[in-house]
């Protein structure tokens, strides 16, 4: 029996997603302290109320509510959007998957604006969809809205935009969004970093039939390990998603964790503010390494509205083709010192590094190390 003959051929051809290493593995690679700035995770963890509530919850032996009633009610209050627009998922990753499964037949297309989050192509391809990449503009990673419109064809169903974008940190303007909504395709605005930017399109969802906003508790609320996200959808789309999702897609512990988080907003917003302050301090420090441009390498940080900063590495001389990319070399050397940041092996990002914002002491250790290298 040849299993490969039975597997869908497009899945055999498909490229795998490259995830980051889990913390248990990283700890083994490091002698001293581990500084983890590669996953845009919250360095302050979750609310202490979460640990308490999860420990106290008495009903883990009972299936969770498939209608997500308590969650949607709490999220109605948090977002100001009526609960019938809200659907929760096992991470916003699951909602990206569900949206793809709702709209894509094999051969249908999505548009992404690269460089961007890797789960959009991943989920589309699992559905047999095709991905059309419309590159962002060279200088500042601004969206190329005219380019998106030119790329549309009859089989284009969904346009995915992250705002703030991962890894570039910039946001979509309302004017740009309106042009996309006018194309009549489903437009997904992924606001995974909304709490760090303060800018949202959620208030527009109710006015259109094709606009979706996705959010998550992974980054701002420190719940990445629980896997819990939500989306704000036109009611018609929300109803279809409730129909096709697995009934118990959000586990009981995640539901308890969200309710506890939403009851401790002052604490969580305090941490968000610390991270925003630290983002600006890190940006300034990276800029100083940048202006110390007497050396052969220096960093150019891009302004960010999220909890990470993308930098490109500038060099006086072109590396010879046999040489490793200098960005990758810095990434590797930082790793030897226990500092983990993100390097992307794609042509557009090969000279770039993405640094998640950590605590002040993490910034200091990183900047010291970078000064020695650049």
Ligand X SMILES: *Cc1c(COP(=O)(O)O)cnc(C)c1O
Asked if 326 interacts with ligand X (CB under 6 A), we say no
Check: CB of residue 211 under 8 Å from CB of residue 204: yes
Pairing mode of beta strands 109-112, 35-36:
unpaired
**Window 38 to 67, contacts with ligand X (CB under 6 A):** 40
Calculate the CA 233 to chain-centre distance. Answer: 19
Question: Which span sits near ligand X by CB under 6 A: 91-99, 129-137, 176-184, 348-356?
Answer: 91-99
278 scored as a contact of ligand X (CB under 6 A): no
190 binds ligand X (CB under 6 A): yes
Report CA-CA distances (Å) from 205 to 171, 176, 210.
17, 15, 8
Instruction: Tell me if 129 contacts ligand X by CB under 6 A.
Output: no
Q: Does the footprint of ligand X cover residue 222 (CB under 6 A)? A: no
DSSP string, 240-296: HHHHHS-TT-S-HHHHHHHHHHHT-HHHHHHHHHHHHHHHHHHHHHHHHHHH-TTSS
Q: In this chain, which of 197, 218, 255, 271 binds ligand X, going by CB under 6 A?
A: 218
Size of the site for ligand X (CB under 6 A): 13
Whose Cβ is closer to ligand X: residue 95's or residue 369's?
95
Binding status of residue 91 toward ligand X by CB under 6 A: yes
Q: Which is nearer to ligand X, 92 or 114 (CB)?
A: 92
How near is the Cβ of 95 to ligand X at its closest, in Å? 8
Of all residues in the shown chain, the one whose CB is closest to ligand X is 91
Q: Which of 100, 123, 166, 168 binds ligand X (CB under 6 A)?
A: 166
Q: What is the SS3 assignment for 223?
A: coil
Binding residue for ligand X, selected from 102, 199, 206, 224, defined by CB under 6 A: 224
Distance separating alpha carbons of residues 319 and 326, to the nearest angstrom: 8
Residue 162 interacts with ligand X (CB under 6 A): yes or no: yes
Rule CB under 6 A: choose which of 38, 93, 278, 362 binds ligand X.
Answer: 93
Q: Do 127 and 104 touch, CB atoms closer than 8 A?
A: yes
For residue 232 the two structure tokens come to 């704000």
Please answer whether residues 47 and 267 qualify as being in contact, where contact means their C-beta atoms are separated by less than 8 angstroms: yes
Contact status: 212 vs ligand X (CB under 6 A): no
Closer residue to ligand X, CB minimum distance, 193 or 331 = 193
- Residue 311 within binding range of ligand X, rule CB under 6 A: no
216 is an interface residue for ligand X by CB under 6 A: yes
Q: By C-beta, is 164 or 326 nearer to ligand X?
A: 164
- For the bound state, the minimum distance from the C-beta of residue 162 to ligand X, rounded and expressed in Å, comes to 4
The per-residue DSSP string of 313-360 comes to EEESSPPPTTSPPHHHHHHHHHHHTTEE-EE--SGGGTTEEEEE---H
Regarding 307 and contact with ligand X (CB under 6 A), the answer is no
* 100 contacts ligand X (rule: CB under 6 A): no
Spell out the alpha helix ranges (H) of 111-173. 119-126, 145-151
Can residue 261 be called a binding residue for ligand X (CB under 6 A)? no
Cis ω for the linkage preceding 167 (within 30 of 0): yes
* Cβ–Cβ < 8 Å for 340, 34: yes
Q: How far is the CB of 20 from ligand X (least distance, A)?
A: 11
Dihedral in degrees, nearest 10, Cα atoms 60, 61, 64, 69? -70
Q: How far is the CB of 163 from ligand X (least distance, A)?
A: 9
Cβ-based nearer residue to ligand X, 121 or 338: 121
Residues of this chain that interact with ligand X (CB under 6 A) are 40, 91-93, 117, 162, 166, 190, 192, 216, 218, 224, 229
């Amino acid at each position: 029996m040849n299993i490969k003959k039975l597997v869908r051929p497009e899945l055999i051809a498909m490229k795998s997603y490259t995830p980051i290493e889990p913390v248990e593995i990283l700890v083994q690679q490091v002698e001293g302290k581990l500084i983890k700035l590669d996953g845009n995770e919250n360095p302050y963890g979750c609310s202490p109320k979460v640990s308490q509530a999860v420990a106290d919850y008495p009903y883990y032996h009972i299936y969770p509510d498939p209608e997500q009633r308590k969650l949607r009610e709490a999220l109605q209050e948090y977002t100001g959007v009526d609960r019938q627009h809200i659907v929760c998922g096992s991470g916003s990753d699951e909602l990206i998957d569900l949206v793809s499964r709702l709209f894509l037949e094999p051969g249908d297309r999505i548009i992404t604006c690269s460089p961007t989050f890797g789960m959009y192509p991943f989920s589309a391809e699992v559905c047999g969809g095709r991905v059309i990449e419309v590159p962002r503009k060279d200088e500042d990673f601004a969206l190329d809205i005219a380019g998106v419109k030119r790329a549309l064809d009859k089989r284009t169903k969904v346009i995915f935009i992250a705002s703030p974008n991962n890894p570039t940190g910039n946001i979509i303007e309302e004017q740009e969004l309106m042009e996309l909504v006018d194309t009549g395709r489903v437009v997904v605005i992924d606001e995974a970093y909304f709490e760090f930017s303060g800018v949202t399109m959620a208030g527009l969802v109710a006015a259109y039939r094709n606009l979706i906003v996705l959010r998550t508790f992974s980054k701002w609320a420190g719940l990445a390990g629980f896997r819990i996200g939500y989306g704000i959808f036109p009611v018609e789309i929300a109803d279809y998603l409730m129909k096709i999702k697995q009934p118990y897609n959000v586990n009981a512990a995640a539901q308890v964790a969200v309710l506890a988080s939403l009851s401790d907003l002052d604490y969580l917003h305090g941490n968000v503010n610390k991270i925003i302050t630290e983002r600006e301090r890190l940006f300034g420090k990276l800029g100083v390494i940048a202006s110390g441009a007497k050396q052969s390498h220096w960093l150019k940080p891009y302004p960010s509205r999220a909890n990470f900063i993308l930098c490109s590495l500038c060099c006086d001389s072109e590396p010879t083709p046999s040489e490793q990319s200098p960005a990758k070399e810095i990434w590797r050397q930082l790793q030897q010192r226990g500092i983990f940041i993100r390097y992307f092996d794609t042509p557009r990002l090969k000279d770039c590094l993405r640094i998640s914002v950590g605590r002040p002491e993490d910034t200091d250790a990183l900047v010291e190390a970078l000064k020695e290298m650049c």
